[in-house]
Structures are given as structure tokens and as C-alpha cells.
Structure 1
Amino acid sequence: MKVVRLYRYPVKGLSSELMAKVELVPGHGFPGDRQYAVTDGSIEIDPVAPQPAAKSHFLMLAKYEALAELQTTFHSQPDRLEVRAKDSTREFKLSDEQDRKELAWHLARMAGADLRGEPKVVYSPGHQFTDVSVHSPDLMRSISLINLETVADLAHRVGMDLDPLRFRANLYFKQAAPSTELDWVGQRLQIGGVILKVVRRTRRCPATSVNPKTAVRDINLPLAIREYRENADLGIYASIERGGTILPGDTLTLLPPSDTPGDAIQESQVE
């Protein structure tokens, strides 16, 4: 099996960023992934002691498909976000309070959000606004993987092209039989010196129904997946047991099962 592409999503619900390589460290998750989010005004996030919150409190694709029309570029040192729409391009300094306010309102307007208060850009060092953060800090720091052969097989069954970016994963791989990855829970994967442990399947949510190229809900994909597999699972999460560098083209190996069975954890949706 081969690693094909690596992505991070600096702001929850916004566009992906292709990575040339990534350095994984146990206990730190996928670097720069979902480190910022924008609330819909329904929750306050303490930057010193953030509490995990359900995706429904944030601007996200499952509810606001118009977010897919925006192309964003994240710049660091200092953190800045460039937001490109059809007729405008703006850059916001994420360290500046006024710019964060303007960014939150800008995204809310672009999304046509049904706000429940003042939207806010939220950030806390070391915290990642992943959907699975609501389950545990360890799961918050897991990484998401997608088998491209599964996506291709599903696309064939539904009779339309499916952009793999619908699934908003960190690591995309190929050369594994379709859907076999769902049986890897509890097993380990090796990529060079990196060891990952598969800890759960990913249950897909309505965000996958949004075409990332057109910002249109062009298929009920969770329903299509259930008809395809008799459940809504597509993709897996893995924790980082041993760190190191991963690059596209690296070999991914499924290690033999250990004597100690892995803990199967309940599936979750991802944004």
C-alpha cells in the first residue's frame, strides 16, 4: 500500500492544505490540523481550558455548504488566513482581536449562517477542534485516513465521480482492497519509522454530501454509504504510537495483529 496525499485543515470547516510531508509526534495529533474554528455564537470557548464541543456549535459544511465556495490559505509566523471568494480576497491576522472579529463575521455572512449569538474565531494552543475531540483528548489527537480504492468503488456504485476531499482526511492511501480498512481496528500500521494504531471507524455525516468543487449537495452520501455497506462507515482513525516523517509515496504496511486485541471505539462523524 502507498501513501498518496497528506492534508491538514487549519480552520475547521474550511478548505484543505496539501502537505509535502508531515512530522508526526505521539500525543500531538496531525500538525496544524483544525487548530482554529469559528463558533456560531452558541458557545464560549475558554482558550486556557477549552472544553470539547459538538460540531453543531461551529460553522461547518454539514450545515453550511456555501463554505465550500471559499478557498483559504493559512500563513504562519504570525498566523494569518487569506480567504478568497468569487469576487473578493481578504487576509486576516489571527493574532489581532479586531481581525478575528471581522473574520468571524465575514465567514458567517459568506455561509449565510443562522447565528445564535456573536460568532467568534477560537483557538487554544495544543487543542484541535476535531469532531472526535468530544470523546477524549487521545482521540482529538488521532489522524484520519481514507482508502482511495474504497472511494473509487463507492463512486462506481453510485454512478458519479466522488472527489476524495469530500471526506476531509489527513492521509489518503491506495492499493488496499475496498473497505478492508474497516476491519483494521485494533491493528497497527507502519509508514517508515512511524507506527499508527487504528482505533475506530469513521461514520460519515452530511458534510460529505457537499461537492467541494461546486459547493452543491449533489448526493445524499451517508445514505449511499449505508446502501453500499449497510452502515455509514467510511474511513478510519489512528493514534500515533511512534513518530517520524511521512511523505507521499511512502509504503504503508499493515502489521500482523498483536496478542493483545485493540480497543474498538464507537464510530464518529468528522468535519
Structure 2
Amino acid sequence: MRIETIYRYPVKGLTAEAMEEVLLTPGETLPEDRRFALAQGDSPFDPAAPAWLPKRNFACLMANARLALVHSAFDARSGNLLLRLPDQPPLLASTRSEEGRAAIAAALTAHLGEDARGTPRFLEAPGHSFSDVAKKVVSIIGLSSLHALEQAAGATLDPLRFRANVYVSGGSPWAEFDWIGQEIQLGQTRLRVIKRIVRCPATEVNPATGERDAMPPRWLRDHFGHVDLGVYAEVIEGGRIAVGDALEALAPTD
């Protein structure tokens, strides 16, 4: 199998950023992945004592399809976040200043409209990832599995609906499910696959239009008897991964 694309998502629910290569660190996500989030006003998240919370506490595509219409770009060196919102001038603000974070929160809150609850906060917490799961993981999708879903449903699905970090080609559909509990070699790195990814209504949202125009969870259930696509894996040996690198399932060591 071969890496076709690599993505990070600096702000939970916002734009995927393509990468040609990246260095992975044991026990960590991709650098900058889900580093920031817009916490809803009723979210109890405390940046001073960060703990994992379910996605409903944050602006996310599952509940807020309008987020797909926001185009963002994050510069890790400067800490600046660029937002392009419909019918608004571009906003460039610093994620490192209180003023900048407030400006980002205000712009996103205005865009969410009635979907915003209370007074949302744009947040980060050093060392914390606003992932959909409590562990720090890398998400991987086999494109053969996605193509099997497309064929069964008679629909074309943008892979970015599924917001994975790594998309790989080759292999048979659903082969990645056989890796649960095993290790894989990905480029220079070694990962342990820990669980399947359960798909939610976020995948119904077209990333180009913001419309809910597909039903991947229902199609998965109807055609395959489950609602899973892709796997989560923990990095256990760090190194570089790049587009074109191989993925190989390693033999069990027991």
C-alpha cells in the first residue's frame, strides 16, 4: 500500500491542509493537528487543566455544517491564522494574542449564527489535541474501502469528508480492519492500530458546498453492516512519512 495524501487540520472542523511530508513523534498526533478549537459557550473545557471532551462541546461539522464554508490557513511559525468567510473580508489574526483569539472567535461565532451557544471561545492548550478520541492518534483510510462504499452507494465521495490524516492506496477493501491490535510500518515510522473509526453525520457534509448531500453512515450500515471507515493508530516509533511512502502490515510478534 502507498501513501497518496497527508493532511493536518489545525482548527477542529476547519480546512484540511495538505502536506508532502511530516515528522511523527511517538505518542503524538501530526504536528499542529487539531491544535485549536472553537469551544461553545456552554463547554466546560478548561485550557489550564485540559481534558478530552466529546465533539459536541466544540464547533464541528457534525453539528455545524456551515463550517465547511470557512477556508482557513495556519502558519505555525508566526502563529497567524487566516480565515476566509463568505461575504466577509479575509481575517488574519494571531493565535498567540488575546486580541487575535478574540477576533477569530468573534468571526467564527458570527458565521455560526444561531448554531453558536453562549459566547464561544477560540482555544488551545499546550500538549492537548481536540481530537474526536481521547488518545493522540493518526487516522488512516484505505482508499480501496472508500471506493467500495462509493460503488455500493452509487455515489462519488470526496475523501476529505472523512477528515483523515493519511490516505493510502492499494490493498483490498476493509483490509485495515485486520490490523487492529497490530503494528504497521508507515514510511520510516511504526504505529500500532488501536481501533476502527466510527463515522458520524459530519461525513454527510460536502466540504465544497457545506450541504448535507450524502449519507455515508447509513450507506455503510445498509451495505456493509457497520458504520466504520478507516482506523486510528498510535505512533510508537517516530520518523518521517511522505507522499509515496509504503504502508506495510507487520507480522504479530507474539
| 8 Å contact kept, 1:204–1:233 | yes
Pairing 1:191-202 to 2, within 5 Å after superposition: 191-202=186-197
Instruction: Report what 1:82 is aligned to.
Output: 82
Please state if 1:183 is matched with 2:178. yes
Instruction: Report what 1:263 is aligned to.
Output: none
| 8 Å contact kept, 2:5–2:19 | yes
- Per the TM alignment, residue 54 of structure 1 is displaced from its structure 2 partner at its CA by 1.1
The alignment partner of 1:131 has SS state of coil
The alignment partner of 2:248 has SS state of strand
| 8 Å contact kept, 1:45–1:122 | no
Please state if 1:40 is matched with 2:40. yes
Instruction: Report what 1:149 is aligned to.
Output: 144
Pairing 1:1-271 to 2, within 5 Å after superposition: 1-87=1-87, 88-133=89-134, 139=135, 141-259=136-254
1:220-261 deviations in Å (ceiling 9; x for gaps):
2211111121011111000111110000000111111231xx
Instruction: Return 46-55 or 122-131, whichever deviates more.
Output: 46-55
The alignment partner of 1:112 has SS state of helix
Aligned-partner Cα distance in 1 for 2:143–2:187: 20
Aligned-partner Cα distance in 1 for 2:126–2:154: 43
- Per the TM alignment, residue 196 of structure 1 is displaced from its structure 2 partner at its CA by 0.7
- Normalising by structure 2, report the TM-score: 0.96
| 8 Å contact kept, 1:59–1:108 | no
1:25-79 deviations in Å (ceiling 9; x for gaps):
1022221100000011012432232121111111110111111011111012331
Aligned-partner Cα distance in 2 for 1:30–1:124: 16
Amino acid at match of 1:234: L
Aligned-partner Cα distance in 1 for 2:70–2:175: 34
- Paired residues, what number? 253
Amino acid at match of 2:218: L
| 8 Å contact kept, 2:7–2:17 | yes
Aligned-partner Cα distance in 1 for 2:223–2:99: 47
Aligned-partner Cα distance in 2 for 1:20–1:192: 12
Instruction: Report what 1:265 is aligned to.
Output: none
| 8 Å contact kept, 1:186–1:199 | yes
Aligned-partner Cα distance in 2 for 1:104–1:86: 16
Instruction: Return 122-131 or 110-119, whichever deviates more.
Output: 110-119
The alignment partner of 1:198 has SS state of strand
Amino acid at match of 2:206: N
Task: Could you list the structure 1 runs, at least 4 aligned residues long, displaced by more than 2 angstroms after superposition.
Answer: 44-48, 85-88, 111-116
Aligned-partner Cα distance in 2 for 1:37–1:12: 5
Aligned-partner Cα distance in 2 for 1:168–1:18: 11
- Per the TM alignment, residue 106 of structure 1 is displaced from its structure 2 partner at its CA by 1.1
Aligned-partner Cα distance in 2 for 1:252–1:246: 10
The alignment partner of 1:67 has SS state of helix
- Per the TM alignment, residue 218 of structure 1 is displaced from its structure 2 partner at its CA by 0.4
Amino acid at match of 2:208: K
Amino acid at match of 1:92: A
1:176-209 deviations in Å (ceiling 9; x for gaps):
1111211210111102331111000000000000
Gaps of 5+ in 1: 134-138, 260-271
Aligned-partner Cα distance in 2 for 1:148–1:254: 16
Gaps of 5+ in 2: none
- Per the TM alignment, residue 116 of structure 1 is displaced from its structure 2 partner at its CA by 2.9
The alignment partner of 1:172 has SS state of strand
Q: How much is the aligned-residue C-alpha RMSD, in angstroms?
A: 1.2
